């Protein structure tokens, strides 16, 4: 069985350039994907697909240029596509009791199987709560807060990456921060009280 289109052959220099791109941007792309997707498996899939697209476009890009915005735009688009393909899921609070068919309530008990030094526990809990709060945000809000507050992008760069006006970036970021403040205010009440 032969293919009608042959795959392009890449030179050793091109493959080395691609490997350098993965080494340069791999961790940042994965971190952004993880912050958006909220889990390791989806983050790895998003990062892998992003770099697959980079590989396909390898001959049309300059590996020495800063590709951050382009890569983050790819990850954001892939994340949005992933959400569109998935069926809508009903999210239930783990804190609320479960209503039985007879009308009674049953309290959920979830065992904490992590034991260790106090610092590890506190840090892990904070990280978990922050990630849960990020994942609970609408994807449009999550993308803006990840690009701004985690990746450190300027409003104009975010607007370009997401293809929206700067004013939309500012309003989404404000809404996202207010939502996160409401959900995470108990972690650092003095620090979060003064968010504009």
Domain boundaries, the chain: 12-85, 117-192
Q: Are strands 105-106 and 98-99 parallel, antiparallel or unpaired?
A: antiparallel
Q: What is the pLDDT of residue 1?
A: 43
Q: What is the pLDDT of residue 3?
A: 45
What does CATH list as the number for 12-85?
A: 1.10.1740.10
Its CATH architecture, for the domain 117-192, is Orthogonal Bundle (1.10)
Q: What is the pLDDT of residue 191?
A: 54
Q: How far apart, in whole angstroms, are the C-alpha atoms of residue 161 and residue 152?
A: 13
Handedness of CA 178, 180, 38, 27 (dihedral sign): positive
Q: What is the pLDDT of residue 59?
A: 83
Q: What is the pLDDT of residue 169?
A: 94
Nearest to 154 by CA among 144, 163, 164, 142: 144
Any idea which residue has 């590709």 for tokens?
Answer: 67
Count H helices and E strands in the chain, helices first.
8, 2
Which parts of the chain register pLDDT below 50?
1-4, 192
Q: How far apart, in whole angstroms, are the C-alpha atoms of residue 20 and residue 18?
A: 5
Torsion of CA 186, 111, 121, 41, to 10 degrees: -90
**What is the per-residue burial (b if ≥16 Cβ within 10 Å, else e) of 24-61?**
ebeeebbebbbbbbeeeebbeebbebbbebbeeebeee
Contact assessment for residue 141 and residue 149, using Cβ atoms and an 8 Å cutoff: no
Q: What is the pLDDT of residue 31?
A: 92
What are 138-167's pLDDT values in tens digits?
Answer: 989 999 998 898 888 889 989 988 889 999
Nearest to 82 by CA among 51, 44, 54: 44
Q: What is the pLDDT of residue 100?
A: 72
Q: What is the pLDDT of residue 2?
A: 46
Q: What is the pLDDT of residue 127?
A: 79
């Amino acid at each position: 069985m032969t293919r009608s289109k042959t795959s392009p052959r890449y030179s050793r220099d091109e493959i080395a350039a691609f490997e350098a791109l993965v080494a340069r941007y791999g961790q940042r792309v994965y971190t952004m994907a993880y912050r958006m997707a909220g889990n390791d498996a989806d983050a790895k899939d998003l990062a892998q697909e992003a770099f697959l697209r980079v590989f396909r476009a390898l001959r049309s890009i300059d590996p020495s240029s800063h590709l951050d915005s382009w890569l983050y735009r790819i990850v954001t688009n892939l994340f949005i596509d992933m959400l569109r393909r998935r069926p809508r899921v009903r999210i239930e609070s783990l804190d609320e009791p479960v209503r039985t068919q007879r009308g009674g309530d049953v309290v959920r008990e979830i065992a904490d199987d992590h034991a260790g030094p106090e610092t590890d526990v506190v840090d892990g809990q904070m990280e978990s709560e922050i990630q849960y709060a990020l994942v609970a945000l609408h994807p449009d809000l999550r993308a803006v807060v990840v690009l701004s507050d985690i990746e450190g992008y300027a409003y104009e760069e975010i607007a370009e990456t997401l293809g929206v006006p700067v004013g939309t970036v500012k309003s989404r970021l404000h809404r996202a921060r207010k939502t996160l403040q409401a959900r995470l205010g108990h972690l650092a009440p003095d620090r979060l009280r003064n968010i504009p």
